Amino acid sequence: MTNAPIIAKKISAYSRRLNNLFAFTAIGATGHFQHFHSGVHSVAITGHTYHRMLDASTPEHSIHWFIYDEAERESSAYAQKVPTIWVQAVKADLDTVNPYVDHLRLFQNLDMFSASAIELTDASSNGDFAAIIHVNSIPNIQPCSILIWRNNHEQPSFISIYSCHYEPLQYPLLFPHGSLGWDLVVSREGIPTQDGCQKFMQCQWYRSRLLTDDHFLYFGRLPSEYIVDIYSQIEEQELSYILHSQSSDQGKKNTELPASFLGSCCWSSENTADGLAIARLAGRPTFFITITCNPNWPEIKARLAPGKSAADAPVIVTRVFKIRLQRFMQRLRKKFGKLIYMIKVIEFQF
């Protein structure tokens, strides 16, 4: 792929379709997805995103195809114009290295018409997890466990955003070895417990993963979807914390977003008031400067794989822009004397 720009460009455009052919969960939103058909490929989401686990007996889904009918996957790929050779190559790799595919084979040892479930337990200290098969009844399920049902005939189950299985189940193309994601130990009520605190903040975890894994440089639109998904996950956890922290105030009927939440009305009002107060006390600004990122900067183009564009590598674009901005700020401080105040806003526009 590295030496074939035409194929690399096509993989970038079809990476989301290819991933969805093998995803163990289905991604959705409580609102809707708004597609924009002009400019850079982008989608707006209303509500919050979620991952749901479909029943293994449900046709036209990856779990069903893994167990029963691989020909249906190839037919779906053909309808979506995804080359069959790509599907066969990904299938062969996942059969070899993916632990979820290996655990799904437990269904093959059971009566295909009986109600059963595979329980994926929480990860141990060394990063491994177990799969427990249940037939007809589910006695005791741990709060962080994931259930893959067959013939349950109930509504699909939803994956907790605190689960380490949240990412590898939805993005097998990015995590073919089933590399587990960031997680917290939660109670049965879905509230994080103190014992589940990670050594790394969630943003630190994802920043490290994005900057060290080369998969995010080759699959174009799929990593972009992943970044939006995990950012939505981070915001949802922040909103959940705000909701639970304010729930003790019995007199409040509505939850108010504090100024600490980026983009809230309080945040906007406080920053506007601070900016006006600074200008009133220290005087009008000397410069009003706008810096726009150029996708043709040599630092960006040098890091792009053949056939890729800047839109396929948001991590690279963001890092280069930050470095250039830091150098400009250093030069500004050095060339124009003592800095009295500075107000800075970074916007992402399409």
**Which of 52-56, 218-222, 269-273 tops mean pLDDT?**
269-273
Tell me whether residue 334 is exposed, middle or buried, using C-beta atoms within 10 angstroms of its C-beta: 0 to 12, 13 to 18, 19 or more: exposed
In this prediction the pTM is: 0.82
**230: pLDDT strictly greater than 70:** yes
Q: In the chain, pLDDT over 70 holds for what percent of residues? A: 81
pLDDT of residue 298: 94
- Distance from C-alpha of 230 to C-alpha of 237, rounded to nearest angstrom: 11
For 93-139, write each residue's pLDDT tens digit: 999 999 888 888 877 777 767 777 777 776 665 556 767 766 766 55
- Give all strands (DSSP E) within the chain, no chain letters: 26-29, 33-36, 42-45, 49-53, 116-120, 131-135, 146-150, 157-158
Q: Which long-range contacts (CB under 8 A, 24 or more apart) does 43-51 make?
A: 43/228, 45/228, 45/232, 48/232, 48/236, 49/229, 49/232, 49/233, 50/158, 50/159, 51/25, 51/26, 51/27, 51/158, 51/159, 51/166, 51/169, 51/170
For 151-199, write each residue's pLDDT tens digit: 776 666 788 887 888 899 999 999 998 888 887 655 444 455 444 445 6
